[in-house]
Amino acid sequence: MPYKEREIEKKYHSIGEVAQMFKVAPSLIRYWEGEFDIIRPKKDKKGNRRYTKDDIQKIKYIFHLVKEKGYTLEGAREVIAQGKDKGFDKVEAVQKLQEIKEFLLNLRDEFKSKSQP
């Protein structure tokens, strides 16, 4: 089996990197920070936000509620406050399942293309 180099995982991400992950403007991330008290990134000496993996997971949950499920900000706040369906873990699980599905579909397509004369 060939050697596979491990990916280097960053400990902190800038607001620009986080915004790019979700394909939104950095201003939306800052806005959500003011609207949802679960998002509290660390700030460096210059005041630049530094997001941890945990912060990004929380933003992912808010993104899922607001952008994918169509909740209003007030509705999303209520869901978070009630701890409904402990969504942090579910969003992560759904994302992993989607990655596995893509992998399997690619595998199937490769197999089909190799088996055709």
What is the average per-residue pLDDT within 13-24? 95
* Distance in angstroms (rounded) separating the CA atoms of residues 90 and 96: 10
Going by C-alpha positions, the residue among 80, 89, 85 that lies closest to residue 54 is 89
* Distance in angstroms (rounded) separating the CA atoms of residues 17 and 1: 34
**What does the pLDDT look like over 102-115, one tens digit per residue?**
889 988 888 888 77
Residue 1 pLDDT: 54
**What does the pLDDT look like over 52-68, one tens digit per residue?**
998 998 999 999 899 98
CB atoms within 10 A of CB 109: 10
Residue 81 pLDDT: 86
Would you say residue 26 lies in a domain?
Answer: yes
More confident residue, 32 or 95: 32
For residue 73, what are the domain limits? Answer: 15-85
* Res 85 pLDDT > 60: no
* Res 8 pLDDT > 80: no
Cβ proximity of 36 and 46 under 8 Å: no
Would you say residue 77 lies in a domain?
Answer: yes
- Could you give the number of structural domains in the chain? 1
Residue 40 pLDDT: 92
User: Domain containing 39 — which CATH number?
Assistant: 1.10.1660.10
What is the pLDDT of the chain when averaged over all its residues?
Answer: 86
Would you say residue 97 lies in a domain?
Answer: no
